Amino acid sequence: MDSVARVVAQRLLLGILTLIVVSVVIFVAVNLLPGDFAQAFLGQGATEGAVNAIRRDLGLDQPLVLRYFHWLGNALTGDLGTSFAQANFSSFTGTAAENLPTVASQIAPRFANTMFLAAVTACIAVPLALTLGILAALYRNSLFDKTVNMVTLSSISSPEFFLAYILILFLAVLNPVLPSISNIYADMGLGQRLERTLLPALTLTLVVTAHMMRMTRAAIINLLASPYIEMARLKGLSPMRVVVRHALPNALAPIINVIALNLAYLITGVVVVEVVFVYPGIGQLFVDAVKNRDIPMVQACCLIFACAYILLNLLADVLSILSNPRLRHPK
């Protein structure tokens, strides 16, 4: 276990360093976006004095390096800043920023909605992908295997918005089974929330299932020629038992990695799906923040996306090590 703890510590340190580098890239990239919030807020007819007053109140007149360290220091304490987009600059008294809504208060409910959507999608996609991958490996080169590969490759090759509109057409317009707009709110019951989340969850399921299914299939087929698998077959075990009890546990490491990458995508890559279904998640909030030039909100959303991706990759590394005795006890 000491080796596992050492590897976990190394991965964690690498993740922290990666996050610091990513934070620099995020801050610089966001501040290089064209346009200016103060100018956009006041309009083209604003005077230079009024624009400078807003920039001074929001700290946008400070050097970029100073603003970065100020933002990073606050972020480490949980303070993601204040939102510009909902400001009310009726007067410029030097206290405008004090009345702005905090970024954390706006992100928290949206992030919870995105996590709920990701959880629903994972509950559908992961068991479905593992089942299809196991069956495709068990009946490889059969009609079932070819059909599953064709369908999953078609779904992964199609743009997300195209899959979303196809599902809306068949499940909300031609056959009104599910609502096409996922307008959920805090006090909504679980059943109604699931109903309105199911259509975007099905869209994401079509997107992420192919990766996991094909990795499961490839990992199991790669192990079916191993000597211990041949020995299990010679003992008279059924093909399904050989795959599930003997091949699958030894194929978990690559499968866990691809599952973690797809779960990270469910948090960081849901922007298009949330926009199509008007789902009130962090992806929709991110798009609105970019449109409104809300710099603190854009930076916070990007930082959350990076944290989620790094943490899930760290979790995948740890689970891969724990599932493989050769990694737990390196020579």
**Average pLDDT, stretch 112-119?**
91
Q: Angle between the 190-223 and 103-138 helix axes, to the nearest 10 degrees? A: 40
Are 267 and 125 within one domain? yes
Do 237 and 283 lie in a common domain? yes
What is the predicted pLDDT for the residue at 93? 43
- In this structure, are 65 and 190 located in the same domain? no
Within 10 angstroms of residue 328's Cβ, the number of other Cβ atoms is 13
Question: Is residue 13 pLDDT above 70, yes or no?
Answer: yes
Residues 125 and 264 in one domain: yes
Instruction: Output the domain CATH number for residue 234.
Output: 1.10.3720.10
Domain assignment present for 275: yes
Q: Look up the pTM and report it.
A: 0.82
d(CA 256, CA 134): 15
Q: Please tell me whether residues 258 and 143 are part of one structural domain.
A: yes
Domain identity same for 194 and 242:
yes
Q: What is the extent of the structural domain holding 151?
A: 106-292
Identify the domain boundary among 101, 120, 144.
Answer: 101
Q: pLDDT (tens digit, 9 = 90+) per residue, 253-287? A: 788 888 888 888 888 778 889 889 989 989 888 88
Same domain, 114 and 177: yes
pLDDT digits (tens, 9 = 90+) for 187-216: 888 888 898 999 999 999 998 888 889 888
pLDDT tens digits, 122-149: 999 999 999 998 888 888 888 998 899 8
232 and 271: one domain? yes
CA distance 1 to 269: 35
Which of 57, 82, 101 terminates a domain? The answer is: 101
Q: Is residue 328 part of a domain?
A: no
H-type helices in the chain, by residue range?
2-31, 37-42, 48-58, 64-76, 103-138, 143-157, 160-168, 190-223, 227-234, 239-241, 248-250, 252-268, 271-276, 282-292, 295-323, 325-328
Structure confidence at residue 91 (pLDDT) = 42
What's the first-to-final CA gap in the chain, in angstroms?
A: 14
137 with 253, same domain: the answer is yes
